[in-house]
Structure 1
Amino acid sequence: MTSALQRVRSAARPVADRVKPLAKSAIGTAVRSRSTGNTLTPEVWGLDRDEAGRLRVQGTPVTELVERHGGPLHIVDGSALRRNAARFLQAGPDGKPLVEAYYSYKSNPVPGVLQLLDRCGVGAEVTSHYELWLALQIGVAPEHIIFNGPGKSDEGIRLAVERGIQILNINQLEEVERIAAACRELGRRARVGIRVSTSSTWQGQFATLAEDALEVFLAARETGVLDVVGLHQHIGGHIGSVERLVKPVDEVLDFVAMLEDEHGFALEIINLGGGLAVPTTYNFTAKDHKHNVHYGKALPVPSARSGLSIEDFVTLTHAHVVKRYEDRGRPMPRIMLEPGRGMTANTQMLATKVLTERTTPERDFLFLDAGINVLPGFVSEYHHIFVADRAPGAVDDHAYRLVGPTCAPWDTLLHCWYGPELHKGDSLVVMDTGAYFVPMATTFSFAEPGILLVDEGREVMLRRGESFTDIIALDKGADGQDLA
């Protein structure tokens, strides 16, 4: 019986081997024919092309910037950064900003970018002793600094108390006594808030659950050295809809009402964190990834008009808090937001060059000088890619697999990307690299790229590209001698 079954399977295998690629091809054709119908042009990011088709940042071709400063190269658009800051700080009828904005330093901790935001009136939201030190080091006033995070060191807490920052947000009960001890040692008081999580926000190691948070508020008040002035919440993820925004805000404002009406707290600050999505990037689904890998379908192009704009995010948040406080007959608190991705993601791009190419029966490969080592977001996110120098009338009819330079099987940026015919020396520009690309990059076999600010006719290298000696600057040899 077994041998008969094996003969049947053996006879069927050649048929299956012929049918399988045909079926895959047919499915691939059907899958590729489906499209979102969306297109993204350079103008979405405030860029343009000259008559020769060269992509330009504030009038300067990207390829010229790379020729002058080397590549791969992160390029920060200073005008776009200032525009985003102004949008978050939009004024109300009284001429004052509707909310206060504190930039999430973990998102893009490039000192020059942070200084520019500080000059635009955006404060610093830090989550570690290092980030607190950095904010002070680049000249941010202590009253413009918020200190969050689940893992504050004693040294970080002491520095925050010593310098009198705007607010220390307590993550869990254990921090209450640590902050109070620093205050007693230094003979100072500290302004604190408590981070509260609800059913719609990040939990786990972040914040204290709403049902347990009252204990933390009461404990902080009872220390006698902590001024409990605020409540902190962080929705997290990509906020792209009114529902995603309003539900957690309502939940935390219900908790605030209980604190103030039943326990006598009068909170000065309601901090609703960050998490605003950027419409031109998104987390792709497993299905999207499968279609890209197996059937040659490009990842869906998002709409630049999808989700919430910065203006929507600010005005909806402000209006919702105002209504809740007016309904209770309470004076308005200060509303704070902590944008990260929403502030800087779309103000930065990465220029990468084709090192070499290869043609196979399955796919044409483009080997780039930037891979997953400097573009970690490609593991899970869609990022739009432009050809730097695109001939007028060029057609995106070539399917390429985009791979990085590292000797790692996972260094594939996209299994299938459509563009015009490209060759060694051509450049691509990856958009929206201004959040979580620089801080999460590695020196896996290659040095990290430089970061260039283009701003009103100026070109400023905010961070030079790493040298090999930079990579080993902290190391010693086996004999204890410096290597660099």
Structure 2
Amino acid sequence: MTSRAGSVPLFDGVDIAALASRVGTPTYAYSASTIRARIDELLSALTGLNALVCYAAKANSNVAVLQLMAEHELGADIVSAGELWRCLQAGIRPGRIVFSGVGKTAEEMREALAAGIGRFNLESRDELETLQAVAASMNTVARAAVRINPDVDARTHAKISTGRAENKFGVGLDEARDWFDHAAGFPNVRLDGLHAHIGSQLLELAPIRQALQRVAAFWHELRDAGHAIASIDVGGGLGVRYREGERPIAAVGYVAAIREALAGFDGRLVLEPGRWLVAEAGVLLTRVIRIKPGANHPFLVLDAAMNDLLRPSLYEAWHDIEPVDAQPRPLETYDVVGPVCETGDTFARARTLPRCNAGDLLMIHTTGAYGASMASTYNSRPLAAEVLLDSGRYAEVRRRQTWQEMIAGEQAARHWHTT
């Protein structure tokens, strides 16, 4: 949502050059208006359906972003007790929270049941047995869905593909069938839901349709066998535009595929978008430290690094990079890097940009998802600030971490114990 008022660059109505001067860099800036527009687009497409949108909190778990979801009555898809705590702090209703992930501990299950979450998405027989034991010890009944692995190629990066048989997520249809056939053996788990999620950054409807068809066929089979299915969770994974030429799936087309595949289902549909709601709402503001000559291209050394934005290093991910100064300049080809002591601390190789100088302010685009939420303090670099923008105003929603905050919890080895 970038624009210009004359020569002044604006992001959600805020002068981002002035913002960077006040808050410093590196800083994440999120457009509340863009997030609201995405929420409204999806909810409009879902009109007439019994549907619950559960925002995938892992995409961006800043409490201020979660509060935007709560204001629109969205639920949350969580994968840890920490995300549960964040969502509850933000005002997301516990009955609208679903708990996913292959490694839920008994203690996390206990905390989630005590909070009154809506549903667990179960991914292994051991997890089902653990939930039964925990719920029985609390004299309660947990509602649960089985996450099936539809063995569908999501046609996305291998590290964010989750729906193939060789991936760690979900169970095969034979195992899921056995769970339902022996559900009476788990009296404290109401197994009445299906869940499937094939991967992230999906830019084609074909694999989504294929997965939905396999989920629908299994639902029909279970229904015909007398198993009541109250909820079908179709997962998330909708992609966004990271670079020119990428065409994200529109909400209306995605929902149309769901309507077609699950026609006749009278229970609740659950959707788990994360990246699609927040990625394009965020930019990472960073300044050029220096330009260093290189063997092939000069190195554009930024004050942001892989600890701030891991995706390019982890996934070889592309992010558009743009100087904030719009004045015409000759083009130059750079390797864009950070100051961390790793060759992998690289944002782009052989990237052509307007010629840059030390001190120039740059924007790294589409960083509202899996940016700050994956950040670390590697090389003892404090976590970046985060700012929420909203129609010409801004609020700092996470201050830049101080040195003291970075080492909070660490201490000298003064008190020794034996086991």
Cα distance, 1:382–1:150 mapped onto 2, change above 3 Å = same
Per-residue Cα deviation, 1:10-62 (whole angstroms, up to 9, x for no partner) = xxxxxxxxxxxxxxxxxxxxxxxxxxxxxxxxxxxx2112322x321122221
2-structure distance, mates of 1:386, 1:310: 28
Q: Please give the residue correspondences for 1:133-152 in structure 2 after superposition, counting only pairs within 5 Å.
A: 133-152=85-104
Select which of 314, 333, 349 maps to 2:267. 333
**Which AA in structure 1 matches 2:254?**
F
- Cα distance, 1:214 vs. partner? 1.1
The aligned residue for residue 355 of structure 2 is: 421
Select which of 318, 325, 329 maps to 1:389. 325
Instruction: Determine if contact 2:195/2:232 at 8 Å carries over to the other structure.
Output: yes
- Cα distance, 1:480 vs. partner? 5.3
The aligned residue for residue 119 of structure 1 is: 71
Q: Is the counterpart of residue 60 in structure 1 residue 14 in structure 2?
A: yes
The aligned residue for residue 270 of structure 1 is: 232
- Cα distance, 1:205 vs. partner? 2.3
2-structure distance, mates of 1:360, 1:216: 59
The aligned residue for residue 32 of structure 2 is: 78
Per-residue Cα deviation, 1:162-213 (whole angstroms, up to 9, x for no partner) = 2322111211111222222222222211211111111212443211111211
TM-score normalised by L of structure 1: 0.79
Q: Is the counterpart of residue 105 in structure 1 residue 57 in structure 2?
A: yes
Per-residue Cα deviation, 1:126-150 (whole angstroms, up to 9, x for no partner) = 1112222222232221111101111
Q: How many residues align?
A: 402
Larger radius of gyration: 1
Q: Which has a greater percent of helix?
A: 1
Instruction: Determine if contact 1:221/1:228 at 8 Å carries over to the other structure.
Output: no
**Which AA in structure 2 matches 1:313?**
Y
- Cα distance, 1:71 vs. partner? 1.1
The aligned residue for residue 209 of structure 1 is: 172
Cα distance, 1:119–1:396 mapped onto 2, change above 3 Å = farther
Instruction: Determine if contact 1:128/1:156 at 8 Å carries over to the other structure.
Output: yes
Per-residue Cα deviation, 1:317-341 (whole angstroms, up to 9, x for no partner) = 223212xx3xxxxx52211111111
**Which AA in structure 1 matches 2:259?**
H
1-structure distance, mates of 2:206, 2:295: 47
Gaps of 5+ in 1: 1-45, 282-300, 326-330
Select which of 50, 58, 66 maps to 2:5. 50
Give secondary structure in 2 for the equivalent of 1:89: helix
The aligned residue for residue 315 of structure 1 is: 256
- Cα distance, 1:236 vs. partner? 0.8
How large is the RMSD of aligned CA atoms in angstroms? 1.9
Instruction: Determine if contact 2:14/2:393 at 8 Å carries over to the other structure.
Output: no
Per-residue Cα deviation, 1:396-439 (whole angstroms, up to 9, x for no partner) = 52112211112222222222121222111111100111121112
1-structure distance, mates of 2:409, 2:49: 45
- Cα distance, 1:474 vs. partner? 1.3
Instruction: Determine if contact 1:318/1:335 at 8 Å carries over to the other structure.
Output: no
1-structure distance, mates of 2:251, 2:337: 34
2-structure distance, mates of 1:181, 1:439: 32
The aligned residue for residue 348 of structure 1 is: 282
Between stretches 153-162 and 220-229, larger displacement belongs to 220-229
Per-residue Cα deviation, 1:292-331 (whole angstroms, up to 9, x for no partner) = xxxxxxxxx4225x24122321232223212xx3xxxxx5
Select which of 390, 399, 409 maps to 1:474. 409
Cα distance, 1:202–1:110 mapped onto 2, change above 3 Å = farther
The aligned residue for residue 345 of structure 2 is: 411
Percent identity among equivalent residues?
28
The aligned residue for residue 156 of structure 2 is: none
TM-score normalised by L of structure 2: 0.91
Give secondary structure in 1 for the equivalent of 2:405: helix
1-structure distance, mates of 2:19, 2:3: 15
